[in-house]
Amino acid sequence: MLILIIGIGVGLVYGWVINPVKYVDTTPAKLRSDYQTDYILMVAEAFQAEGDLDLAARRLAVLGDSPPAEIVRQGMIYAAQINYADSDQELLSQLASALQTWVPASGGIQP
Amino acid sequence: MRDDRGHWYLLTGFVIGIVLGLVYAWLIAPQERPDTSPASLQPEFKDQFRAMIASAFVATGDLTRAEARLKYLGDSDITRVLSEQAQRTLGEGNSPLEAQALGLLAVALGQGDSAVISTPITSTTPDENQATINPGQATSTPPPVESPAVDFPTDTGLIPTPTNQESPETNAVLSTATPLPTRTPTATPGSPFVLQSNTFVCDPDLPNPLIQVIAENASGAPLPDQEITISWDGGDDFFFTGLKPDIGLGYADFLMEPGVVYEVRMAAGGQSVPDITPAECETESGSRYWGTWLLVFSRP
């Protein structure tokens, strides 16, 4: 019985740590935080030039069900943690500010 | 009573245990890893990620950063993949600007450091050191590095996120480089194009009825990002040079429908070429295949 338990333990270590399941065909929502943050930064860079808030929100929607402003806020937190350049953090901040007043349904702007 | 099993039962139990452990770890409760890389994305999301990189590149003009981001996706031939996606996007007709951004990035990568977008948004400070950000070291200060070149591991290693600044060396190269045209296709300045040649080509290696267009300047240098309009009875379309940089930066092609008569012109203005229609060629053995119309436009 003891040797069986040891075998199970070895199998678990191998299957979870040494050679875990490799995920393919995933979605952006499952990306690692640094990749997600970089994607958000890309959206912010494009928004800076295009000025299209609806398009920016659609681009952010692939990162999950959270509101776009919340997605950007999470990205800002991570960017600050890993010391993104000030200019990049500023871009994120500008996008977040713009999204705070963005209303998806009507497309209008809240007062 | 004597036990004849020896020690084999121990090995059997161990193997069974391993199998049970693996079944549990791989099938029943695989480790949740919400930390995958863009290389593992579904193809459509990869396309979206790639398009986002291209749009950001057009916005910032930062080729180094765009190249680093593209490496996330693990494409073996980045330029080719970008070109193909640009063609695909253009063919779908959903987002010509996105297609153009992809094409611009493909062209810029083909030209290397000499490429630059004419309307960069973010500013750089030449006297600051370039720094790399290591996402795996959340509390560390980005260390300055001497060279703008950054090696990015494509596996599970720590992958740096974008560089903060361009080094003075990079700026020097960019400032003396020949700029690409602007990303607005209809805003191309300069005089209209002149048709230099209109040739029907029989090439068995090109069996499809193509219109091939080459755009070049007065000195014969290829001109990427030039819009070509094509019209026929009941329809029209447009395409751009430079989306197949492996063939040529000033090259573009269009697949014709048999029996349709087309008229081709450069969107920037100039002479139009009417009555282009698919025609067949014949090999010595008598087999037939479609020929290609090769139009060369030059800007005087």
How much is the mean pLDDT over chain B?
72
Name the packing angle between helices B43-60 and B78-92 (round to 10°): 100
**Cα torsion angle, B106, B109, B115, B121, sign:** positive
Reduced to 3 states (helix: H, G, I; strand: E, B; else coil), residue B32 is coil
Q: Which residues 256-285 on chain B approach chain A with CB closer than 8 angstroms?
A: none
Reduced to 3 states (helix: H, G, I; strand: E, B; else coil), residue A30 is helix
The CATH number of B185-299 is: 2.60.40.10
Taking the domains of chain B in order of start, what are their residue ranges?
Answer: 38-176, 185-299
Would you call A43 exposed, middle or buried from its count of C-beta atoms within 10 A (0-12, 13-18, 19+)? buried
Structure-token pair, residue B73: 């996706």
Classify residue A56: in a domain, yes or no: yes
Distance from C-alpha of B192 to C-alpha of B268, rounded to nearest angstrom: 6
Interval B180-184 mean pLDDT = 39
> Is B72 in the A-facing interface, judged by CB distances under 8 Å?
yes
Distance from C-alpha of B263 to C-alpha of B267, rounded to nearest angstrom: 12
Reduced to 3 states (helix: H, G, I; strand: E, B; else coil), residue B154 is coil
Reduced to 3 states (helix: H, G, I; strand: E, B; else coil), residue B216 is strand
Question: Which residues in chain B touch residue A48, judged by CB atoms under 8 angstroms apart?
Answer: 59, 121-122
What pTM was computed for the model? 0.53
Q: Mark B127-163 as b/e (b = at least 16 C-beta within 10 Å).
A: eeebbbbbbeeeeeebeeeeebebebeeeeeebbbbb
What is the number of domains present in chain A?
A: 1
Classify residue A77: in a domain, yes or no: yes
* pLDDT per 10-residue tile (average), chain A, 111 residues: 88 84 78 92 94 92 91 94 91 93 60 40
B48 vs A15, A62, A84: nearest CB = A62
Pick among A37, A45, A48, A90 to test the B interface (most B CBs inside 10 A) = A45
List the beta strands (DSSP E) in chain B: 194-201, 210-217, 227-232, 235-240, 251-255, 262-266, 273-276, 280-282, 288-290, 292-299
Distance to chain B for A89, nearest Cα, Å: 11
Contact criterion met (CB < 8 Å) for B30 and A14: no
pLDDT tens for each residue of B104-133: 898 888 765 444 444 333 333 333 333 333
Nearest to A50 by CA among B109, B51, B82, B46: B51
Distance from C-alpha of B158 to C-alpha of B72, rounded to nearest angstrom: 11
Give the structural domain span for A48. 24-100
Q: ipTM of the assembly?
A: 0.81
Q: Give the up-direction half-sphere exposure of residue B238: CA atoms within 13 A in the CB hemisphere.
A: 18
Size of interface A-B (CB pairs under 8 A): 184
> Is B191 in the A-facing interface, judged by CB distances under 8 Å?
no
pLDDT tens for each residue of B25-76: 888 887 766 567 898 888 899 999 999 999 999 999 999 999 999 998 988 8
Contact criterion met (CB < 8 Å) for A15 and B52: no
Classify residue A93: in a domain, yes or no: yes
Residue of chain A nearest B73, judged by CA positions: A35
pLDDT value of residue B168: 34
Contact criterion met (CB < 8 Å) for B31 and A16: yes
